[in-house]
């Protein structure tokens, strides 16, 4: 942590200590003033001392605002209300209003500080230095001094300072600060690592792939720091409302103070007292403070789970989604070919896979690679003779002295094998000798294990419709959609077709969320009401195009993001209804002379405290 950060933290603590000391001293002196018997000027002086101790800064702020023609703020209202209370002899009430106002301010600062620390905790992922390897030596430099292509060394326990690829060594990496996942990931040569993560066990050397300003951490911090700029409609409403509400109440208080005494001849002190209640309760603090704090807490709570929401406007939109549209490859599926079925004929599964792996062992085709990965065992190439590629069909290979044909149905027809279609979707690899059909292997893009649960969770959250978009053949796409319980499937789509498909779903009362991998889905992410990027660690396209970024590849966090958004909006609505309801009741009771300044204190400070504490619930998962 930098010196300036430490100084800011110390200054903040000192301010809180001073505030607590003032509140304590003022409260003690108020009690003494209420206990000590006194009359007239002596009694007023006993109350003026705690009043000035607790309220001098509020009065000074009100005077400065008046000098700058900025009135009708909370300092002005508190000053007028309390001075008015002194003028009509309600000394204890005057001190109490200012005292509880300051208590409310302190608790507000504590609540906002807690929420800020929740989000600012990710500031700790910013690396302090990098160990650059140059000329056979390792020297410590600032991360900003390292360039693309440089080699850096990361020792156990150190933060990885820049994005890059491991070129030497292996280790376990703690990615919790970026992805929210607590289980470390094993990394080896060839794997990509992101800055801000922590090297746990082994010494590694990394070839840098991005400048520090464009690194994962820098983009995350930029997102968090700017998230408050995009206000939700609810926040904008509260801002507009407070601009009209406070002046209206002040005008009402003036009219309440003047008209009844003139019209009925009643005592001025009675109606001045009621007008002061109006002023004391009129501050819209509970709304102006608690609603933005609710959104801030919701965004902070989401960030702790590895979910980055770019602003409260996106949080509000996310809470209203009615339709979730998914890209298939890389989102619902792993995006990597894998053996998903082995159907032998006259041989065992192991024998069929062994023959296929041996025949494909010289190929670099992705299908061949998936078969070799599934085989896992050692392939003895000494048993493999001549291998011949057959264009558009497959290959033939001499294995253990027998010619084995590996390929599609056309190859089987060519050699006269008695093959048959497979009921499973995917790419089917058939194997046969010249006289005997041996069976087939299905290679396809495997479904993510958490995909089905994620779809179910979204529906539980109230998402009415789920749609899958895919460029694959309709048969393959339908099988994936049916296995996951997706309501509608659009297959064989080009990138432009996906945009058209999303546009066809847009309409009145519909809020469309598109969930994609963020690399080739940028146009659709931007066209939907809310774009959610999956697996976006290190992806510029995802962070730029999406409104919500999931920092790992866990599809279940889509439902968690919706849950957090809906909980946040529910808390914001609770605060609005509660604050307006209580204030309206106290305003009405104050006008009738039933509620006094003590009720006004609760209507302002008490309601604000309850609303602020309620707002902090949005930080909890």
Catalytic residues: 327
Task: Output the CA torsion sign for 231, 237, 242, 247.
Answer: positive
Question: Token pair of 70, please?
Answer: 């900025």
Say how far apart CA 503 and CA 262 lie, in whole Å.
64
Alpha helices in 37-179 (DSSP H): 40-67, 74-87, 91-120, 176-179
Question: Token pair of 218, please?
Answer: 């820098």
CB atoms within 10 A of CB 446: 17
Q: Which of 136, 184, 130, 121 is nearest to 152 (CA)?
A: 130
331 in Cβ contact with 536 (< 8 Å): no
Instruction: Identify the three-state secondary structure at position 450.
Output: coil
Task: Output the CA torsion sign for 300, 306, 310, 316.
Answer: negative
Q: Which of 467, 446, 444 is nearest to 455 (CA)?
A: 467
Q: Which of 404, 88, 148, 75 is nearest to 270 (CA)?
A: 88
DSSP percent split of the chain into helix, strand, coil, nearest 5 = 55, 20, 25
**Cα 503 to chain center, whole Å?**
26
The secondary structure of residue 159, as a DSSP letter, is: B
For 35, the enclosing helix (H) or strand (E) is helix 3-35
Cβ burial, residue 388 (10 Å; 0-12/13-18/19+): exposed
Question: Token pair of 39, please?
Answer: 């009359």
Say how far apart CA 124 and CA 144 lie, in whole Å.
17
Residues 6+ apart with CB under 8 A from 119: 224, 296, 299, 300, 303
């Amino acid at each position: 942590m930098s010196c300036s950060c430490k100084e800011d933290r110390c200054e903040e603590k000192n301010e809180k200590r001073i505030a607590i000391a003032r509140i304590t001293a003022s409260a003690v002196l108020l009690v003494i003033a209420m206990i000590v018997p006194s009359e007239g000027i002596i009694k007023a002086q006993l109350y003026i001392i705690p009043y000035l101790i607790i309220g001098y800064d509020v009065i000074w702020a009100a005077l400065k605002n008046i000098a700058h023609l900025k009135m009708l703020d909370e300092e002005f209202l508190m000053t007028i209300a309390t001075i008015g209370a002194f003028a009509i002899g309600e000394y204890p009430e005057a001190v109490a209003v200012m005292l509880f106002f300051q208590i409310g301010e302190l608790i507000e600062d504590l609540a906002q500080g807690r929420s800020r620390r929740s989000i600012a905790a990710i500031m700790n992922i910013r690396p302090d230095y990098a160990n650059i390897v140059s000329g056979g030596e390792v020297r410590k430099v600032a991360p900003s001094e390292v360039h693309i292509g440089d080699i850096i060394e990361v020792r156990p326990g150190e933060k990885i300072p820049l994005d890059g690829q491991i070129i030497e060594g292996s280790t376990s990496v703690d990615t919790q600060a970026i992805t929210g996942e607590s289980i470390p990931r094993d990394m080896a040569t060839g794997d990509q690592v992101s800055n801000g993560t922590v090297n746990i066990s082994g010494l590694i050397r990394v070839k840098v792939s991005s400048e520090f300003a464009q690194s994962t951490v820098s983009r995350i911090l930029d997102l968090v720091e700017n998230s408050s700029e995009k206000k939700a409609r609810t926040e904008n409403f509260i801002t507009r409302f407070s601009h009209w509400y406070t002046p209206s109440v002040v005008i009402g208080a003036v009219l309440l103070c003047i008209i009844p005494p003139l019209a009925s001849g009643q005592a001025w002190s009675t109606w001045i007292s009621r007008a002061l209640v109006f002023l004391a309760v009129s501050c819209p603090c509970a709304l102006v403070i608690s609603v933005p704090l609710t959104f801030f807490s919701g965004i902070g709570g989401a960030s702790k789970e590895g979910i980055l929401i770019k602003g409260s406007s996106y949080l509000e939109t996310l809470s209203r989604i009615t339709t979730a549209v998914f890209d298939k490859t890389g989102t619902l599926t792993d995006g990597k070919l894998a053996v998903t079925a082995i159907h032998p004929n006259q041989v065992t599964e192991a024998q069929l896979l062994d023959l296929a792996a041996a025949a494909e062992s010289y190929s670099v085709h992705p299908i061949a690679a998936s078969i070799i990965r599934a085989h896992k065992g050692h392939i003895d190439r000494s048993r493999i003779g001549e291998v011949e590629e057959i264009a558009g069909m497959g290959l033939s290979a001499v294995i253990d002295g027998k010619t084995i044909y590996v390929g599609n149905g056309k190859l089987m027809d060519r050699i006269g094998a008695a093959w048959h279609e497979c009921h499973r979707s995917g790419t089917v690899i058939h194997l046969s000798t010249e006289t005997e059909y041996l069976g087939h292997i299905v290679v396809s893009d495997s479904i993510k294990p958490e995909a089905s649960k994620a779809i179910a969770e979204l529906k539980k959250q109230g998402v009415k419709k789920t749609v899958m978009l895919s460029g694959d053949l309709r048969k393959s796409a339908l099988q994936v959609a049916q296995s996951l319980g997706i309501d509608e499937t659009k297959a064989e789509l080009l990138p432009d077709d996906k945009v058209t498909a999303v546009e066809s779903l847009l309409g009145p009362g519909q809020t469309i969320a598109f969930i994609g991998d963020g690399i080739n889905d940028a146009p659709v992410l931007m066209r939907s009401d809310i774009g959610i990027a999956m697996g976006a660690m290190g992806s510029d396209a995802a962070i730029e195009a999406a409104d919500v970024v999931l920092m790992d590849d866990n599809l279940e966090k889509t439902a968690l993001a919706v849950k957090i958004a809906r909980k946040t909006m529910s808390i914001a609505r609770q605060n609005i209804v509660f604050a307006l309801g209580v204030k309206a009741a106290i305003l009405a009771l104050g006008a009738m002379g039933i509620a006094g300044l003590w009720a006004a204190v609760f209507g302002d400070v008490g309601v604000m405290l309850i609303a602020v504490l309620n707002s902090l619930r949005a930080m909890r998962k």
